């Protein structure tokens, strides 16, 4: 088994065996040069898109260098031409060029803050979310929901989802408020004052890497589509044409998918979501009057039972009368049977 | 510019085993870095981020090759480079250790080649490689282990490593 040290030695030997082209960095600069006026095409493997990007970056590096050189005595070179997104901070403390900045990172992993004060602060893509639990009284619910909506609107936000329950003893709900990321903490501070806070949790997710990845994928797919479009122009047969068109369609679909993902992430980054749980204490249980078919059935059964009971009660009365009559009749009959012979003997 | 160009270029060479491709990939990588410089993380995360851009550019270049040369599977985009590399017999004739390493690397699957280059040439830690290739550290560890196993078993490399092992 080869040890780690041996691997490192072997790999450095193998890597060092590749002669670094001295024209490599120069080629980037050369690629950015304006095309010849005689209309000839710039030779090489650089495509127009790459040329444009190379031009932008090299122009930025040159402008930065000029700015640094002139910062001690003259005014900094104007960088506004690069556009707002690519503008570089013109700080008087600038001492390191962009190229040295990359160099320091590759050579020793030095931090950005210490080596690149002249570059603009990096924009991080953060998705901020939070959950706020508010304890309310039953009477406050509707009013507090309205207040939260108004508060969100005042920050340029909106209620993206609401689920308010107001049935029987159940009362409460959840609303999701989205506010501009810059106002998220201010919004939470004000929302906390609306009712008693039971709990508050917030979290930040850094999606910078995903954004970069998506951008890189998009660039690669754009390039691939450009190549396919060139191939489409060269296709001679119908089958070739259809095949290239299918490829373009597939690449286009991937591009649209990535653009969709970018839009989704951008929305999530731009608008922070706060889930507000509205907690209302349970009301004492009050049985509600029954209604509907069940109630009718229940009433019918009750009436039937009551009717049977009434019938039995009335039958009992009748039976008692009959039985009393029978008993009296039997007594009278007994008396008549015992007295009648005596009466007959007396008469006789 | 020249001082930072070299490590990135050589990393791309080892990944792609193609000097002109590495040149294009690194050029594209630096253009991307410039374009997305605002997104560059600070501190220790910056280095893996930069290598990540380089590796992604290598993938893009390999994909373009696939698109131009023929209809190969995208997941196998770098595999055809290995096919073009010299075999062990040829290496023996050349007798060059660097060539042997490059050939052994080219025979590695793409998923193993990238982390092992980042580890032993670029000098990234497992955690940094995980950030660079957007995989979990555990995955990186297992891939490095597998890559080491395959490289150690590679006939071209074992020829050079065996005497050193015997001396220990």
Summarised one tens digit per residue, pLDDT across range A258-311 is 999 999 999 889 999 999 988 887 766 656 666 678 888 888 998 899 988 888
Query: Of A115, A145, A171, which residue is a domain's last?
Result: A115
Contacts of B99 in chain A (CB under 8 A): 14, 17
Query: Of A84, A115, A146, which residue is a domain's last?
Result: A115
Window B:90-149, CB contacts with A under 8 Å: 96-99, 101-102, 105, 116-117, 119-121, 123, 131, 134, 148-149
This prediction has a pTM of: 0.38
Residue A258 structural domain: 124-285
Q: What is the DSSP letter of B14?
A: H
A178/A251 same-domain check: yes
Residue A328: pLDDT band (50, 70, 90) is very high
pLDDT > 70: percent of chain A: 67
A82 → chain B, closest CA residue? B35
pLDDT at B76 over 60: no
A216/A270 same-domain check: yes
pLDDT at res. A287: 60
A138/A243 same-domain check: yes
CA–CA dist A155, A277 (Å, integer): 20
**Per-residue model confidence as pLDDT tens digits over A236-257:** 778 878 888 888 888 888 999 9
**Per-residue model confidence as pLDDT tens digits over A192-202:** 888 888 888 88
Window B:72-91, CB contacts with A under 8 Å: none
CA–CA dist B112, B140 (Å, integer): 9
Q: Is B11 helix (H, G, I), strand (E, B) or coil?
A: helix
Give how far Cα A215 sits from Cα of A212, A218, A220, A262, B53, Å.
5, 5, 9, 8, 11
CA angle (B151, B153, B155) in 5-degree steps: 95
**Per-residue model confidence as pLDDT tens digits over A150-179:** 998 998 889 888 888 877 667 788 899 999
Residue of B1, B9, B11, B27 lying closest to B129 (CA atoms): B11
Q: Burial of A12 by CB count in 10 Å (0-12 exposed, 13-18 middle, 19+ buried)?
A: middle
A67/A210 same-domain check: no
Asked whether the beta carbons of A160 and A177 are under 8 A apart, the reply is yes
CA–CA dist B53, B45 (Å, integer): 13
A180/A264 same-domain check: yes
So where are chain B's domains? 2-167
pLDDT at res. B88: 53
Query: Of A285, A309, A329, which residue is a domain's last?
Result: A285
ipTM: 0.76
Contacts of A248 in chain B (CB under 8 A): none
Q: Mean pLDDT across chain B, nearest whole number?
A: 76
Q: Provide the number of structural domains found in chain A.
A: 2
Residue A102: pLDDT band (50, 70, 90) is low
Task: Please indicate, yes or no, if residue A200 is contained in any of the structural domains.
Answer: yes
Q: Give residue for tokens 């992430």.
A: A265
A139/A178 same-domain check: yes
Task: Please indicate, yes or no, if residue A184 is contained in any of the structural domains.
Answer: yes
A216: nearest CB among B27, B56, B161: B56
B5: nearest CB among A16, A25, A125: A25
A162/A97 same-domain check: no
A54/A99 same-domain check: yes
> In the structure encoding, which two tokens stand for residue B112, read together?
């193993």
A220/A260 same-domain check: yes
């Amino acid at each position: 088994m080869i040890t780690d040290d041996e691997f490192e030695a072997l790999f450095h030997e193998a890597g060092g065996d590749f002669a670094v082209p001295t024209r490599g960095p120069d080629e980037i600069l050369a690629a950015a040069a304006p095309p010849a006026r005689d209309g000839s095409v710039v030779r090489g493997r650089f495509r127009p898109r790459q040329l444009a990007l190379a031009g932008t970056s090299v122009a930025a590096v040159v402008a930065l260098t000029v700015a640094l050189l002139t910062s001690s005595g003259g005014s900094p070179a104007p960088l506004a031409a690069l556009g707002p997104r690519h503008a570089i901070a013109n700080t008087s403390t600038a001492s390191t060029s962009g190229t040295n900045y990359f160099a320091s990172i590759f050579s020793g992993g030095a931090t950005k803050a210490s080596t690149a004060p002249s570059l603009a602060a990096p924009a991080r893509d953060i998705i901020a979310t939070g959950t706020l639990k508010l304890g309310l009284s039953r009477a406050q619910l509707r009013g507090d929901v309205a207040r939260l909506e108004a508060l969100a609107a005042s920050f340029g936000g909106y209620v993206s989802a609401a689920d308010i329950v107001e049935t029987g003893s159940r009362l409460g709900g959840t609303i999701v408020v989205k506010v501009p990321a810059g106002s998220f903490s201010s919004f939470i501070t004000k929302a906390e004052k609306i009712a008693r806070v039971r709990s508050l949790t917030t979290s930040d997710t850094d999606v910078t890497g995903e954004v970069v990845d998506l951008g890189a994928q998009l660039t690669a797919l754009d390039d691939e589509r450009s190549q396919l479009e060139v191939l489409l122009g060269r296709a001679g047969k119908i089958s070739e044409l259809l095949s290239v068109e299918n490829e373009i369609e597939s690449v286009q679909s991937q591009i649209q998918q990535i653009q969709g993902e970018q839009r989704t992430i951008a929305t999530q980054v731009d608008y922070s979501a706060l889930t507000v749980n509205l907690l209302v204490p349970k009301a004492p249980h009050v049985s509600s009057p029954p209604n509907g078919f069940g109630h009718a059935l229940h009433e019918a059964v009750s009436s039937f039972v009551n009717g049977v009971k009434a019938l039995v009660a009335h039958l009992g009365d009748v039976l008692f009368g009959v039985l009393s009559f029978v008993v009296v009749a039997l007594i009278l009959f007994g008396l008549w049977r015992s007295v009648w012979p005596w009466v007959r003997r007396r008469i006789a | 510019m020249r001082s930072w160009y070299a490590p990135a270029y050589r990393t791309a060479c080892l990944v792609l085993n193609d000097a002109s491709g590495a040149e294009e990939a690194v050029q594209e990588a630096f253009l991307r870095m410039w374009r997305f410089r605002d997104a560059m993380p600070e501190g220790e995360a910056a280095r893996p981020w930069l290598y990540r851009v380089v590796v992604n550019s290598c993938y893009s270049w390999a994909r373009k090759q696939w698109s131009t040369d023929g209809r190969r599977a995208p997941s196998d985009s770098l595999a055809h480079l290995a096919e073009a590399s010299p075999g062990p017999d040829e290496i023996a004739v050349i007798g060059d250790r660097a060539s042997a390493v490059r050939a052994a690397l080219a025979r590695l699957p793409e998923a193993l080649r990238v982390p092992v280059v980042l580890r032993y040439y670029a000098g990234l830690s497992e955690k940094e490689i995980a950030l660079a290739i957007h995989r979990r550290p555990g995955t990186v560890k297992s891939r490095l282990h597998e890559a080491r196993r395959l490289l150690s078993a590679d006939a071209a490399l074992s020829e050079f490593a065996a005497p050193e092992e015997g001396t220990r």
